[in-house]
Amino acid sequence: MPISNIPFKLGVHPINWVGEDVQEHGDYYDYEQVMSEISSLGVKGTEISRKFPKDPKELKKALEKYDLSLTTQWKSVFFSDPNRHEEELEAYRKHVEFLKPFGCKVISTAEIGGSMLNQDPTRGQDETFVKRLDEEGWKYFTEGLQKAGEICKENGMDLVYHHHAGTVVEQPEEIDRLMEMTDPSLVSLLYDTGHGYYGSNDPVELLDKYFDRVKYVHLKDIRENILEQAQQNNYSIRESIRSGLFTVPGNGCLDFEPIFKMLIERNYQGWALLEGEQDPQLHNPYDYAKESLEYIKNITEKIQEKK
């Protein structure tokens, strides 16, 4: 079965080649090679990499050359601090205006206040714990998020919130609280299998519970032995990634059949992007992506045959 017959839109994330949180991973790649290899896998959708051209005209030209469509680009926000709302929303609007001409329908968004990620200027370079939000933090965070959601709506787009390892929204109760405190018309969910499992969620239960709010998907697998090692030794999220925590679907411990079954049976229409986020020198990104796409094709074919 060719990829084109998979009943939802399947893409491949450039993070398989070039790390974002761990920037030494794949830093030697140029965007031409990354785009060329993604395109040769037979998919159309991809996100922006830090290696891709920053100029919109150059980026458009490169995407057209490799017959690729842009799906979204991650946007960090710092809404938990009310003093930053004005500048954060201004930056958010610029981000939306940059992506809109590319036909992107969603903006991948995550709060980085209190996170392990060093984008939070109030924290160290590689924290090993998340500074959880207090009541006021939640209030300001969700208020800012909904204002950003309004900016998306004005531009015919959706804010999809990325629950992410090492941030203030990763655990089941945090995802629940985010969903309860936000308007479904303004805040949707980016469902990530790997980050969900890392955050102690059951990926199938999470998808089932919030399926109606899921408008974008990241398909990522987990190496269980590395996760146990990371938890026992209190690794930061960066150290976890460096140690090989994440891999592509079919290469880790997650069972993707019930996930794909739900996406297919409930007629999911959005993008689902393949992510590995591992050291490309140890795990060739093209080879791993190719094997994973074959794994996905086999599972989806089996599900469709049973229908």
* Neighbouring-strand partners of residue 11: 45, 273
User: How far is 145 from 148, CA to CA, in rounded Å?
Assistant: 5
In the predicted model, is pLDDT for residue 167 greater than 90?
A: yes
User: Of 84-88, 112-116, 128-132, 236-240, where does the model show the most confidence?
Assistant: 84-88
- Give the residue numbers spanning the domain of 207: 71-215
Could you tell me if residue 259 is inside a domain? Answer: no
Q: For 183-206, what is each residue's pLDDT tens digit?
A: 999 999 999 999 999 999 999 999
The pLDDT of 279-294, averaged and rounded, is 97
In the predicted model, is pLDDT for residue 125 greater than 80?
A: no
In the predicted model, is pLDDT for residue 1 greater than 60?
A: no
Q: Are residues 137 and 104 in the same domain?
A: yes
Q: Are residues 182 and 161 in the same domain?
A: yes
Could you tell me if residue 261 is inside a domain? Answer: no
Q: What is the 3-state secondary structure (H, E, C) of the chain?
A: CCHHHCCCEEEECHHHCCCCCCCCCCCCCCHHHHHHHHHHCCCCEECCCCCCCCCHHHHHHHHHHCCCEECCCCEEECCCCHHHHHHHHHHHHHHHHHHHHHCCCEEEEEECCCCCCCCCCCCCCCCCCCCCCCHHHHHHHHHHHHHHHHHHHHCCCEEEEECCCCCCCCCHHHHHHHHHHCCCCCEEEEEEHHHHHHCCCCHHHHHHHHHHHEEEEEECEECHHHHHHHHHCCCCHHHHHHCCCEECCCCCCCCCHHHHHHHHHCCCCCEEEECCCCCCCCCCHHHHHHHHHHHHHHHHHHHHHHC
Q: Are residues 35 and 125 in the same domain?
A: no
Q: Are residues 231 and 210 in the same domain?
A: no
The pLDDT of 39-63, averaged and rounded, is 97
Could you tell me if residue 249 is inside a domain? Answer: yes
Q: Are residues 87 and 40 in the same domain?
A: no
Could you tell me if residue 263 is inside a domain? Answer: no
The pLDDT of 216-226, averaged and rounded, is 98
The CATH number of residue 224's host domain is 3.20.20.150
Burial class (CB in 10 A: 0-12, 13-18, 19+), 165: buried
Q: Are residues 295 and 200 in the same domain?
A: no
Q: How many domains does the chain have?
A: 2
Q: What is the pTM (predicted TM-score) of this model?
A: 0.96
Nearest to 165 by CA among 117, 119, 210, 203: 117
Residue 46: band (very low, low, confident or very high) from pLDDT cuts 50, 70, 90 = very high
User: How far is 13 from 26, CA to CA, in rounded Å?
Assistant: 13
User: How far is 126 from 165, CA to CA, in rounded Å?
Assistant: 13
In the predicted model, is pLDDT for residue 124 greater than 80?
A: no
User: How far is 73 from 171, CA to CA, in rounded Å?
Assistant: 23
Q: Are residues 165 and 39 in the same domain?
A: no
Q: 215, 231, 246: which is the final residue of a domain? A: 215
Q: Phi then psi for 274, rounded to 5 degrees?
A: -75, 125
Q: Are residues 144 and 26 in the same domain?
A: no
Could you tell me if residue 262 is inside a domain? Answer: no
Could you tell me if residue 264 is inside a domain? Answer: no
Q: Are residues 42 and 169 in the same domain?
A: no
Nearest to 238 by CA among 116, 111, 101: 116
Please check whether residue 45 is in contact with residue 11, taking contact to mean a CB–CB distance below 8 angstroms. yes
Q: Are residues 225 and 204 in the same domain?
A: no
Token reading at 155: 């531009």
Q: For 253-279, what is each residue's pLDDT tens digit?
A: 999 999 999 999 999 999 999 999 999
Strand order in the sheet with 271-274: 69-70, 45-46, 9-12, 271-274, 214-219, 187-192, 158-162, 106-111, 75-77
Length of the chain equals 307
Average pLDDT, the chain: 95
Could you tell me if residue 260 is inside a domain? Answer: no
Q: Are residues 111 and 199 in the same domain?
A: yes
Q: Are residues 205 and 240 in the same domain?
A: no
Could you tell me if residue 127 is inside a domain? Answer: yes
pLDDT of 4: 62
